[in-house]
Homo-oligomer: A and B are copies of this chain.
Amino acid sequence: MSDDFRVARKTLQNHHITSSQSFTKHDLEYILSITSKMESGIHSKTNSKLLDGYILATLFFEPSTRTRLSFEAAMMRLGGNVITVEQAMACSSAKGESLEDTGHVVSQYADVIVTRHPESGSADRIASKSIVPVINAGDGPNEHPTQALLDLYTIFSEKKKLDNLKIGFLGDLKFGRTVHSLVHLLRFYSINFTFISHPTIAIPQHISNILKEYGCQVTETEDLESAIKDLDVLYVTRIQKERFSKDDNYDDLKDKYQLTQSLLNTSKADLTVLHPLPRVNEISPAIDDDPKARYFKQAENGVYMRMALLAAVLGKSPNQTM
């Protein structure tokens, strides 16, 4: 293990993971490396007792099947146990308990907490009094750091590199939490960003400014058909109808930005299409079997990355696989 990895390992152990902006490049590379070990060990059940005797508490103040089950599966793949609140809104908080108190008490029952809550900053409040590591699985419009990490791992895993890639982002770039979080991780690498969207939901100025400061190339366009031609990765997000006023003509836009087989045929042969899911109309199910479509693999990778992160905050190193 390199010195950089030793530092990253120590940084993550017993630390809260509430923002994607707190990672160093070494942290990211350490997590990618552990995730890769988790993935290669999964079928041989190499690490299936690594977290034996540990308890994960998943506290979901708003429902999210995918994220919750992904964390719980990750914990169980490592031999750990799970206690869960599927609908935490109905419980202690209804009796007027503060998030700080909830975090304090639950941290006495479990060894690590994963939380989702509709309010910005809620994860930090829960973490502030917790005596065990807290992982933010989404705090409203604010952050969703594990989605960003699994996206990063998927790009790395598909392309075998993170530098010198041309990555397009399509859809709701203004409100899309996953885009913002991922962009904060990618700023460490030599990425050529192409942001493709209707101007109403374009990437915020302060984010493209940060990327430029870090030396990344940034292009903005409304024209998916031209932009797709030389992308290495296309990251699609759901356009949420409720963001649009009537005059913005949502239905036209929706059709304009649907990824179809004919559009896909104009891309580079090794394009990787990603999507945080759930998808609605923005990607046609007809392309699911195209080798370029990697969004389901991306969801699968979420389990490996969460295995890595749970092990890291609990101070456990995965065993090597042959």
Contact = CB atoms under 8 A, between A and B. Distances in A.
Nearest to A299: B105
A57 B82 CA distance: 13
Nearest to A52: B48
19 contacts: A48-B53, A55-B76, A57-B69, A64-B92, A65-B102, A66-B91, A69-B83, A69-B106, A69-B110, A72-B83, A73-B83, A76-B81, A85-B86, A87-B90, A95-B238, A96-B280, A104-B296, A108-B296, A109-B303
B278 A92 contact: yes
Contact of A91 (B63, B97, B98, B105): B63
Question: A interface, how many residues as a size bin?
Answer: 35 or more
Given A86-B86, A96-B280, 15 more contacts: A45-B53, A57-B73, A63-B87, A63-B90, A65-B102, A69-B85, A69-B106, A69-B110, A84-B84, A87-B87, A97-B279, A100-B285, A101-B277, A105-B277, A108-B299
Contacts of A97: 277-280
A101 B65 contact: no
A95 B62 CA distance: 13
A54 to B, nearest CB: 9
Nearest to A105: B299
Interface string A42-78: 0001001000010101010001111001101100110
A73 B91 contact: no
A264 interface: no
Contact of A85 (B65, B83, B110): B65
The 3 closest A-B pairs by CB, nearest first: A97-B278, A65-B91, A73-B109
